[in-house]
Amino acid sequence: MTLFPRAVNETTSRELRKTFRSPSEIFYPLIFFVLVLTMFPFSIPPVPGLFNSIASGILWTAALLAISLSLETLFKADYSSGALEVIHLSGANLVLVAIGKSLGHWIISGLPIALLAFPIGWALDLNFLTLWVLVITLMLGSATMSLTGSSISALTVGLRGGGFLLVMLSLPFFVPLLIFGSSAATNASLGIVPEAELYFLGGMFVLSLTVAPWATAHAIKIRLG
């Protein structure tokens, strides 16, 4: 992984190592994803085939909620232990730390969820193209969420009602991802290759990659001072 700067590597390794030491926490985002999915059959009318026809949208919504809720953990532990302050005071490049944290968060939440969408979609009778499109859009979209979400997570770290405030602030910004992600999957289920949607999601990812880490670094400095 020498294509990333050292600080990014180190931060990502730290995040991964930290999470793998409390093994149960690895599964929380995944379990929540499936839990939300399970709520829908109970709530929508039992019309045969209805659930499967809106499955892509439901999968994307459940993924969105699971990832939004897991964003809180990005900076919480480091803020309350004072590690964030130590890292800042030691002159670390906070932009690289932000990228490392987002990458670590994506590997733990977005990536597993995207991969899990494949077998789940298969069980729900989605065709092959739809399954691939789902996985790719979820990977792109969740990476964007990890990046943009890191800025908002840094801004709201340690505040009363922090988790809820974080989700409330992030969801409006995730709506475009939801729109294009689920529309791509729906089009794929009709046999159309969703080029426009994929371009858009790619564009949003690049935008967030270039803007979010700086916003996150700035947010950390604001909250520490």
Partner 1 sequence: MSKPILEVTNISLSRAQKLVVRDLSFSVSGGEILRLSGSNGSGKTTILRALAGLILPDNGKVARLEEKLGNITTSSNSVIYIAHRHGLEENLSPLENLNFLSQVCTPPPIRDGVSVLETLGLKTSMHVPTARLSAGQKQRISLARLLMFDAPLWLLDEPFTALDTSSKKQLESMIDAHLDRKGAVVLATHQRFNCKSHVLKHSLPMIP
Partner 2 sequence: MMMMMNLLHKYASLKNFYFLSVKLSRWLVLPFVFTLVYGLIGALWIAPQDYQQGESFRIMYVHVPSAWLSMFVYMNMFGAAILTLIWRVKLSEIVLRACAPLGAIFTFLALITGSIWGKPMWGTWWVWDARLTSELLLLFIYFGIIALFQAIEDRRMAAKACALMTVVGAVNIPIIHYSVQWWSTLHQGPTVSKIGTPSIHLDMLIPLIVMSVAFTLYFIIMCLARIRIGIREYDKNSTWVKNLVTSTLQKEHNQ
Residues that bind partner 1 (CB under 8 A): 6-7, 10-11, 14, 17-18, 21-22, 77-78, 80-83, 85-93, 96-97, 221, 224-225
> Total residues contacting partner 2 (rule CB under 8 A)?
30
Cα–Cα distances in angstroms (integers) from residue 69 to residues 54, 63, 130, 166, 168, in the given order:
23, 10, 26, 8, 10
Among 2, 21, 160, 191, binds partner 2 (CB under 8 A): 160
* Minimum gap (Å) between residue 8 Cβ and partner 1: 9
Instruction: Please enumerate in sequence order all residues whose Cβ is within 8 A of that of 152, keeping only pairs 6 or more positions apart, or say none.
Output: 71, 166, 169, 170, 173, 219
Among 106, 156, 194, 213, binds partner 2 (CB under 8 A): 156
Residue type for position 161? G
Quickly list DSSP for 76-117.
HHHHHHTHHHHHHHTT--HHHHHHHHHHHHIIIIIHHHHHHH
Among 111, 116, 185, 215, binds partner 2 (CB under 8 A): 215
75 binds, among partner 1, partner 2, none (CB under 5 to 8 A by kind): none
From 63-71, 90-98, 128-136, 149-157, span contacting partner 2 (CB under 8 A):
149-157
**Cβ proximity to partner 1, 96 vs 155, nearer residue:** 96
* Residue 151 interacts with partner 2 (CB under 8 A): yes or no: yes
Q: In whole angstroms, give the CA distance from residue 191 to residue 171.
A: 30
Cα–Cα distances in angstroms (integers) from residue 83 to residues 63, 138, 214, in the given order:
30, 31, 20
Residue type for position 180? F
Residues 96-135: x where in contact with partner 2 by CB under 8 A, - otherwise, as a string:
----------------------------------------
* Residue 172 interacts with partner 2 (CB under 8 A): yes or no: yes
The angle that helices 94-105 and 128-155 make with each other, rounded to 10 degrees, is 140
Residue 7 token pair: 């600080």
Site of interaction with partner 2 (CB under 8 A): 148, 151-152, 155-156, 159-162, 165, 168-169, 171-173, 175-176, 179-180, 183, 200, 204, 207, 211, 215, 218-219, 222-223, 225
